[in-house]
A = this chain, B = another copy of it.
């Protein structure tokens, strides 16, 4: 039997375009005499569609194209993911009943699941964490079982195919159904315990994050071995966003056999139709293609590949072909320039340096050199005159009938500079070039709001916002050493101390820079955001006391005592940055541009935050009191 695995690029909301893609893949599969083609979860309507699931006209559009797919099944069985609609029943929000469903089209018609009596198979397990909001939109198989006062298994039967007069039973699961370790049922287990399946399919729309492929293979392999089953795992590629966070989908569609082997079928971040022979006797597939998989590349290469893929698709879908970058001579804007140049061609990446009297020749020259190395258009425009005007206007401004008058402070002056660059020059410049401009904030800065709103925090996208500062350096070195094999990012940029250069206190020539100690704070902040059990000052202070902090956060051994000779020093730093993380950090993130997600936990709408004031736990306060008194 020939099975076609269609690792297609799915667009959110665009049923018509997804239908066209699916149609062309079906034709390809027919050309290769496939008996069955399998598409990913929600391949027709897209998955991260926000609240447009509430628009009935969108649901009718989905139904229309669902039906058009079924018409294509005259010579091939088609299994695909889409929304299943029951217009007569309600979701728990009172709107039309929607299921995250799998359709099976055969001989021009949808097959009925005789147990549920729907023309589709229903996802049982609903992820409601991180970027996922399945229960917001979809009614699940467990709820349906509850409603019908029956068991989940009673609503399930395998999909039936007939291939060369042999009856084939295909087990159906959708994405999270395969990740059942924290749920009270395992669909693979219960389905395979009642029915004998020839193989299972798992239709996924599973976003990429670094290191996920390893976990995925681990989980699906184990299910196969445990339940003595075979699984075709079919994931999509492309990007979809949840407003403030953009996710890539890496595909990595694979076949898992019952002894735990993984046969990679379609590769990562690439559209592909893979037609393979399934051997019923061996319950295995024959595939001699050497497919590269994410598990086998280094972390920095995974970062480079995923970042470039996601940003490229972003620009394509948002119809952006020219980007302006404020090139400071520092590492973040340089890395940003490299990435955009690789995607759009350097001729479409406009670098502009905007010096004030605080910018050193070192960084100014580095910015220019970067443009030369990459071949980007380059310009320089000073901000001195404009910031002087702003300062003068502010100092001369007198409110009548007022108790206080404006006071120019160091911080006000620094922010004026940052906003002059971002909000005044870059925004106008980008628009006057028919372009957009990029926000080059990294995750470390974004964590603690070390940026100016409407200044360096502005832009159409934060391409680097899911990279810690040390990731930024690793990737920069990777481009120089491995990709370009020459220092396109100038040595000065790599060697200079990271600095905002907004005052004499941030003079890089005197080796004065940011207040962040990246080899420590990167790891501390990461424990607050990305750790599965998210750490807080209570956890950090506890770990500091018992000497396990470095181990807990994963930074260099011996660093903490070196940086903070006394407990007072440690606490002062901890509270300073926690305050920034919780208070101004959140406020700035709420108005920050969308973030490209590649880590296990990205800002935007993956991590859901609320505006608040710091509240330390009583345990923290007691411990602190004990340590300081």
Contact = CB atoms under 8 A, between A and B. Distances in A.
A183 to B, nearest CB: 5
Interface string A521-539: 0000000000011111011
A590 interface: yes
A502 to B, nearest CB: 14
A546 interface: no
Nearest to A386: B389
A590 B244 contact: yes
Contact of A415 (B54, B64, B428, B592): B428
B92 A182 contact: yes
Given A57-B539, A146-B184, A397 B94 contact: no
Interface string A147-189: 1000000000000000000000000000000000111100000
A318 B611 contact: yes
A41 interface: no
A58 interface: yes
Interface in A405-429: 405-409, 411-412, 415-416, 419-420, 422-425, 427-429
Interface residues of A, number: 127
Contacts of A379: 397-400, 402
- Copies of this chain per assembly: 2
Residue in A147, A182, A246 whose Cβ sees the most chain B Cβ within 10 Å: A182
Given A381-B397, A427-B415, A57 B136 contact: no
Contact of A402 (B318, B377, B427): B377
A605 B607 CA distance: 13
B586 A402 contact: no
Nearest to A436: B587
Given A54-B534, A243-B609, A60 B401 contact: no
Contact of A317 (B14, B385, B587, B613): B613
A249 interface: no
Contacts of A419: 423-424, 427-428, 454
A608 B58 contact: no
Contacts of A136: 128-129, 133, 608
Interface stretch (A31-39, A45-53, A275-283): A45-53
A120 to B, nearest CB: 20
A393 interface: yes
B376 A401 contact: yes
Contacts of A375: 401
A411 B432 CA distance: 9
Contact of A608 (B15, B50, B433, B592): B50
A536 B608 contact: no
A399 B17 CA distance: 38
Contact of A429 (B401, B406, B611): B406
A423 B457 CA distance: 12
Contacts of A404: 433-434
B378 A399 contact: yes
Given A182-B94, A244-B590, A400 B377 contact: yes
A93 B618 contact: no
A430 to B, nearest CB: 9
B454 A427 contact: yes
12 contacts: A16-B615, A58-B536, A95-B532, A142-B146, A240-B610, A352-B397, A390-B424, A405-B433, A407-B433, A412-B432, A424-B424, A605-B608
Report, nearest first, the 8 A-B pairs whose CB atoms are least far apart. Answer: A423-B423, A377-B402, A406-B432, A93-B129, A377-B399, A57-B538, A50-B610, A94-B182
